[in-house]
Amino acid sequence: MPVCSWFTFLCMRENKSQKPRKVHPNQGRYDAMVVWKGKADKPIQKSGSLAFEVILKPAQNDAPLRPISPPKNNRVVLSEEDIKLKLKKAEERRQSLEAQRLEQLAKERERAQEVVAKAQQESKEFSHATKEKLRRSMEANKENREAQIKALQERLREHSIKVTETCKQSDKMMEDFQEKINSKISQRFEVYEENRQSQLQSMLTRLKEHANHIQEVCQASENMGKVCEEKLVSKMENALRNREEQLRALQERLLEHERRIEEVQKKKMGIQEDEDA
């Protein structure tokens, strides 16, 4: 697909400063416009061919209209008296304007002074009212402060009375409490002493019983020692007797053994003699 780029170039008109060329009355002026379409739709056999279209249209006069200046021959020539008269009128107008401006400034200044005076009067009235209000409030505060001080003093006096009464009651309660504590301590000491005496008596009784028990045990041990000695002696005698019997039996067995040995030797000797014979 061929790439088509359209560019339009508008031909420049002739310069306005140059004089226009004469054109035949039956012919009009035209503007030339060249349109470039890129490659031609129906390309020629030559490669890289281009197609151009030239369009002619009537010329347009777009120049703005200039204002018409007055003719130079209609100017009025003023004389010296006319100039002086105009200057005098201008001076009178200036003076009247200055007078009007000064009068307006005076009115504005007078109005400003009235405003300032009114503001000062209002400020004085406001300050006076404020001072009066402050004085009244200070008097009211003073009265309230005195009343508060009196009420506070009354409350402090009542509080001091209550404190003294409370101190008296607390002292009395402390005395009663001390008496109760002392009585309880004395009772506890008495009970403790009684318990200690009873414990000592019970300990003495147990010690006596223990001493009696020890004495009984010692006596029983002495009796048992005698019985044990007798039993031990009898056991030793029996042991010696048994030992003597065992030794006697052992001697008898040894004698029997020696006798058997002699018999065996005699038999061996008799057998050897028989073999020798």
Q: What is the pLDDT of residues 34-65, one digit of tens each?
A: 444 444 455 445 556 666 666 666 556 555 55
Chain-centre distance of CA 38, in angstroms?
76
Rg (CA), the chain: 83
Q: Which helix (H) or strand (E) holds 131?
A: helix 80-276
Q: How far apart are CA 51 and CA 38, in angstroms?
A: 7
- Cα–Cα nearest to 7, from 60, 62, 51: 51
Confidence of residue 2 (pLDDT cuts 50, 70, 90): very low
Structure tokens at 41: 């739709």
Length of the chain: 277
- Number of Cβ within a 10 Å radius of residue 99: 10
DSSP annotation of 56 reads E
164-196: pLDDT as tens digits: 888 888 888 888 888 888 888 888 888 888 888
Q: What is the pLDDT of residue 267?
A: 79
pLDDT at 250 over 80: yes
Segment 199-217 mean pLDDT: 84
In the chain, pLDDT over 90 holds for what percent of residues? 4
